[in-house]
A and B are shown apart, each in its own frame.
Chain A
Amino acid sequence: RKEVEQDPGPFNVPEGATVAFNCTYSNSASQSFFWYRQDCRKEPKLLMSVYSSGNEDGRFTAQLNRASQYISLLIRDSKLSDSATYLCVVNCSSNTGKLIFGQGTTLQVKP
C-alpha cells in the first residue's frame, strides 16, 4: 500500500466549477500535512498547510480527518490558472523534514 494515495485524475472541469480532491495516508503517526501545487515542468510549491480544524485561503479550503487518515482540498470558482497537478504531502516525524508525496491529482480547468 502506498504511504499517500491520491486519485491521479485528470479532473476536467469548466471555469467557475467547484472541485474536490481527496487523499489518504497510511501512517497514523503522521505529524504535518500539506497540499502542494506543481505546474508542468516546474518544481512543487506549497499551496497550503492542512490543520485538523480545517483552514481556508481564498477559494481554497483544506480539511484533515485524523481518525480516517484523510485529507481533502476544495477549490471553489475554478480559474483557468488553477490548472496544475495537486500533490498531497505528509511529514511523518518532527525529527526529520522528510516529505512523503502522493502521486498527484491533475486538474484541467476549461473555458
Chain B
Amino acid sequence: EAGVAQSPRYKIIEKRQSVAFWCNPISGHATLYWYQQILGQGPKLLIQFQNNGVVDDSQLPKDRFSAERLKGVDSTLKIQPAKLEDSAVYLCASSFSRGGLHGYTFGSGTRLTVV
C-alpha cells in the first residue's frame, strides 16, 4: 500500500516569500491533516479536513497560512508571506475517518527553512 506522499522534500526561501506544499493521502482516506513540527517540539495540528471540508483550523495562522483540499483528495498548504519562525517540518497525515484513528499515517514531511 502506498503511503502519504508529500513534496517537495526540502525548501529554502527568504522571509516574505511565499511557498506551497503538496500532499497526496492514502487512497480511501477521507481525513487529511497538516501538522507543523518545529525543531525540538512535537508536531502541532494546523488544519484537519474531512473530504473537502474543514473540521478544525483553530491553530492555523490564517493571516499567512491557507490550505485547501478542493476535490477531497490532494491538499496544498500555502504560506504567504513566510516568516523566520515558520522554519519547521510540515507533516501531512491521513486516516480513514474523521473521528477514527484507524490507519493514521504520516508522510515524510517537507522541511522548510526561511532565511
A joins B in a complex: yes
* Interface set of A (CB-CB < 8 Å, partner B): 4, 8, 32, 41-46, 87, 89, 91, 93-104
Q: Say how far A9's CB is from chain B's closest CB, in angstroms.
A: 11
Q: Mark B32-53, 1 if CB is under 8 A from A, else 0.
A: 0100000011111100100000
Provide a sorted-by-A list of 11 A–B residue pairs whose CB atoms are within 8 angstroms: A42-B108, A44-B43, A94-B99, A96-B99, A97-B31, A98-B48, A98-B56, A99-B101, A102-B42, A103-B40, A104-B42
Q: CA separation between A32 and B95, bound complex, in Å?
A: 15
Residue of A nearest to B111 (CB): A41
Known: A32-B101, A43-B106, A91-B101. A97 touches B95 (CB 8 A): yes
Q: Does B115 contact A (CB under 8 A)?
A: no
Q: Mark B10-38, 1 if CB is under 8 A from A, else 0.
A: 00000000000000000000010100000
Q: Say how far B45's CB is from chain A's closest CB, in angstroms.
A: 5
Judged by DSSP, the binding face of B is: loop
What number of residue pairs across chains A and B have CB atoms under 8 A from each other? 55
Do A43 and B99 touch across chains, with their CB atoms under 8 A apart?
Answer: no
Q: Say how far B21's CB is from chain A's closest CB, in angstroms.
A: 14
A-side contacts of B41, CB under 8 Å: 103-104
Q: Say how far A82's CB is from chain B's closest CB, in angstroms.
A: 19
A-side contacts of B99, CB under 8 Å: 93-97
Known: A97-B100, A97-B101, A98-B56. A8 touches B40 (CB 8 A): yes
**Residue with the greatest number of chain A CB neighbours at <10 A, chosen from B40, B42, B44, B109:** B42
B-side contacts of A100, CB under 8 Å: 45
Q: Say how far B26's CB is from chain A's closest CB, in angstroms.
A: 13
Q: Mark B81-110, 1 if CB is under 8 A from A, else 0.
A: 000000000010001011111001011110
Contact of A101 among B44, B104, B108 (CB under 8 A): B44
Contact of B98 among A42, A43, A95, A104 (CB under 8 A): A95
